[in-house]
């Protein structure tokens, strides 16, 4: 007959011949006290080796049957009876702790499931605690299982302080269900995280687009400003119209524009629409051999109003010293009887001034009537300028006379 014993000192269990148990001769397979501490030889040969304290958990005629029976069943380890004689401090603790039985033959197999079982047991214990299902400390402390690979439970006696298999399986199912939910939540979390990343990417892209649009808008505005400055305030169609009237080759126009664009850094690149205005050595050719300083020409171009434009252009072409001693047509004033006629301005240069004003007006309007009406004032404007210059000269003379008198 064989006994399935648990050695108290190291909690190792295995089957031994009953002859290894000192003072033990069982009459049947139930003739043993599972709460008693026996003295057992650990070696297979009786009367050899040291004696160890052990607990008998089961008896069987055949060793294999015994082991199979133990492997397939989950056997509760009963609390050892408190024997004043045997109750040493060494043994007292064994009944109080939750013991993990290590079957010598099944040790490798158990190791494969050890992690899983440990985690399951831990979760079960936590669930028990959470659900208030834990029993008294006395009961739970005594509960231990010898688990087989099939997780078979043979707790026939409902009065035994064990966790019923039903409860265990329910907890296990609950645990598995929660694990499933956890997996589901983790998947959900991962999906949300991916969506967040995508949203962040889209947001970044949107920000880039917004700044790009802003930049383009700014560039467009600046381009419009430059174009308006170059073309004056007239529409682009005027450029074509005037250009067609000049009968000049187009490549030259482009060259002129290119040259003009590089002319002045201070004044905006006010480019004459006429290709006849060519730039050479810092001077602009207005036509018929009349050259003016390019910078001054740009200044004249940006002046507002026909009157100022004409007056400034006249000063630029003739100069104040010439103008103050001339009249527009050479006709003496009739206001004074003895008026001496002043030499007239060159009709040729006058026509150039008139042409320049025409080009300028033509950028504003296509109405020939309006153009003609505005052009008719050229002589008037020049005359006024001559008068203004003379006025200034007279004022200066008066001042000088005043100072000389003082």
Partner DNA sequence: TTAACGCGGCCGTCGATGAG
Partner DNA sequence: CTCATCGACGGCCGCGTTAA
Q: How far is the CB of 265 from DNA (least distance, A)?
A: 23
Q: How far is the CB of 299 from DNA (least distance, A)?
A: 12
In this chain, which stretch among 60-68, 163-171, 352-360, 393-401 interacts with DNA, using CB under 7 A? 393-401
Residue 324 CB neighbours (<10 A): 18
Q: How far is the CB of 315 from DNA (least distance, A)?
A: 9
Scanning residues 279 to 318, which ones bind DNA (CB under 7 A)? Answer: 305, 307-308, 311-312
Strand, helix or coil for residue 10:
coil
Q: Which is nearer to DNA, 98 or 370 (CB)?
A: 370
In this chain, which stretch among 73-81, 96-104, 264-272, 383-391 interacts with DNA, using CB under 7 A? 383-391
Q: Which is nearer to DNA, 166 or 405 (CB)?
A: 405
Pairing mode, strands 290-293 and 283-287: antiparallel
Cβ neighbours for 79, distance < 8 A, ≥ 6 positions apart: 35, 95, 142
- Say whether residue 254 binds DNA (CB under 7 A): no
In this chain, which stretch among 39-47, 156-164, 203-211, 392-400 interacts with DNA, using CB under 7 A? 392-400
Q: Are 56 and 21 in contact (CB under 8 A)?
A: yes
Q: For residues 66, 69, 72 and 75, what is the CA-based torsion angle, rounded to 10 degrees? A: -90
Backbone angles phi, psi at 4, to 5 degrees: -95, 110
What's the number of CA atoms in the CB half-sphere (13 Å) around residue 209? 6
Q: Are 143 and 76 in contact (CB under 8 A)?
A: yes
Q: Which is nearer to DNA, 173 or 398 (CB)?
A: 398
Q: How far is the CB of 371 from DNA (least distance, A)?
A: 14
Q: How far is the CB of 391 from DNA (least distance, A)?
A: 7
In this chain, which stretch among 13-21, 167-175, 282-290, 390-398 interacts with DNA, using CB under 7 A? 390-398
Q: How far is the CB of 348 from DNA (least distance, A)?
A: 15
Which residue from 13, 66, 292, 386 is in contact with DNA, where contact means CB under 7 A? 386
Q: Can you read off the two tokens belonging to residue 366?
A: 């296509």
Q: Which is nearer to DNA, 222 or 380 (CB)?
A: 380
Q: What is the CA angle 55-96-116, rounded to 5?
A: 85
CA 233 to chain CA mean position, Å: 45
Q: How far is the CB of 387 from DNA (least distance, A)?
A: 5
What's the number of CA atoms in the CB half-sphere (13 Å) around residue 149? 10
Place of tokens 């089961």: 58
Q: How far is the CB of 220 from DNA (least distance, A)?
A: 31
Count of residues interacting with DNA (CB under 7 A)? 32
> What SS3 string covers 314-338?
HHHHHCHHHHCCCECCCCCCCCCCC
In this chain, which stretch among 5-13, 83-91, 214-222, 381-389 interacts with DNA, using CB under 7 A? 381-389
Q: Are 18 and 73 in contact (CB under 8 A)?
A: no
Q: Are 353 and 382 in contact (CB under 8 A)?
A: yes
- Say whether residue 384 binds DNA (CB under 7 A): yes
Q: Are 252 and 258 in contact (CB under 8 A)?
A: no
The DSSP H or E segment spanning 224 is helix 165-231
Scanning residues 323 to 362, which ones bind DNA (CB under 7 A)? Answer: 327-336, 339, 342
Cβ neighbours for 118, distance < 8 A, ≥ 6 positions apart: none
Q: Which is nearer to DNA, 174 or 390 (CB)?
A: 390
Beta strands, E only, 188-294 = 278-280, 283-287, 290-293
Q: How far is the CB of 379 from DNA (least distance, A)?
A: 3
- Say whether residue 385 binds DNA (CB under 7 A): yes
Which residue from 31, 181, 225, 396 is in contact with DNA, where contact means CB under 7 A? 396
In this chain, which stretch among 66-74, 180-188, 232-240, 321-329 interacts with DNA, using CB under 7 A? 321-329
Which residue from 395, 397, 400, 401 is in contact with DNA, where contact means CB under 7 A? 395
Scanning residues 158 to 177, which ones bind DNA (CB under 7 A)? Answer: none
Q: How far is the CB of 390 from DNA (least distance, A)?
A: 7
Q: How far is the CB of 353 from DNA (least distance, A)?
A: 12
Interface with DNA (CB under 7 A): 305, 307-308, 311-312, 327-336, 339, 342, 376, 379-380, 383-388, 390-392, 395-396, 399
């Amino acid at each position: 007959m064989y006994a399935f014993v648990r050695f108290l000192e190291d909690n190792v269990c295995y089957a031994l011949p009953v002859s290894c148990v000192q003072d033990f001769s069982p009459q049947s397979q139930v003739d043993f006290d599972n709460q008693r501490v026996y003295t057992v030889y650990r070696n297979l040969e009786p009367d050899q080796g040291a004696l160890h304290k052990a607990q008998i958990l089961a008896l069987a005629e055949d060793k294999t049957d015994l082991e199979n029976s133990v492997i397939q069943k989950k056997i509760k380890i009963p609390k050892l009876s408190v024997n004043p004689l045997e109750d040493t401090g060494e043994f007292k603790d064994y009944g109080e702790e939750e013991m993990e039985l290590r079957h010598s033959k099944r040790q490798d197999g158990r190791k494969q499931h050890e992690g899983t079982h440990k985690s399951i047991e831990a979760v079960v214990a936590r669930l028990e605690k959470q659900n208030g299902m834990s029993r008294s400390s006395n009961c739970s402390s005594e509960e231990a299982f010898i688990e087989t690979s099939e997780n078979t439970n043979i707790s026939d006696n409902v009065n035994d302080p064990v966790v019923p298999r039903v409860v265990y399986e329910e907890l296990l199912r609950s645990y598995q269900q929660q694990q499933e939910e956890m997996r589901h939540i983790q998947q959900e979390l991962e999906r949300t995280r991916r969506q967040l990343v995508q949203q962040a990417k889209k947001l970044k892209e949107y920000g880039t687009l917004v700044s790009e649009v802003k930049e383009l808008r700014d560039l467009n505005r600046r381009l419009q400003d430059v174009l308006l400055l170059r073309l004056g305030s007239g529409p682009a169609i005027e450029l074509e119209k005037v250009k067609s009237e000049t009968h000049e080759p187009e490549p030259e126009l482009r060259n002129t524009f290119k040259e003009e664009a590089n002319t002045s850094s201070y004044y905006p690149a006010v480019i004459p629409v006429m290709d006849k205005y060519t730039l050479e050595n810092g001077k602009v050719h207005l036509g018929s051999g009349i050259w003016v300083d390019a910078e001054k020409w740009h200044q004249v171009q940006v002046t507002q109003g026909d009157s100022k434009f004409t007056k400034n252009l006249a000063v630029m072409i003739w100069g104040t010293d010439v103008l103050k001693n001339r009249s527009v047509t050479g006709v003496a004033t009739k206001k004074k009887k003895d008026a001496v006629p002043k030499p007239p301005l060159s009709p040729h240069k006058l026509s150039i001034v008139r042409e320049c004003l025409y080009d300028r007006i033509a950028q504003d309007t296509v109405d020939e009537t309006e153009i003609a009406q505005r052009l008719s004032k050229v002589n008037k404007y020049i005359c006024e300028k001559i008068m203004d210059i003379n006025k200034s000269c007279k004022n200066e003379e008066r001042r000088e006379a005043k100072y000389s008198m003082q």
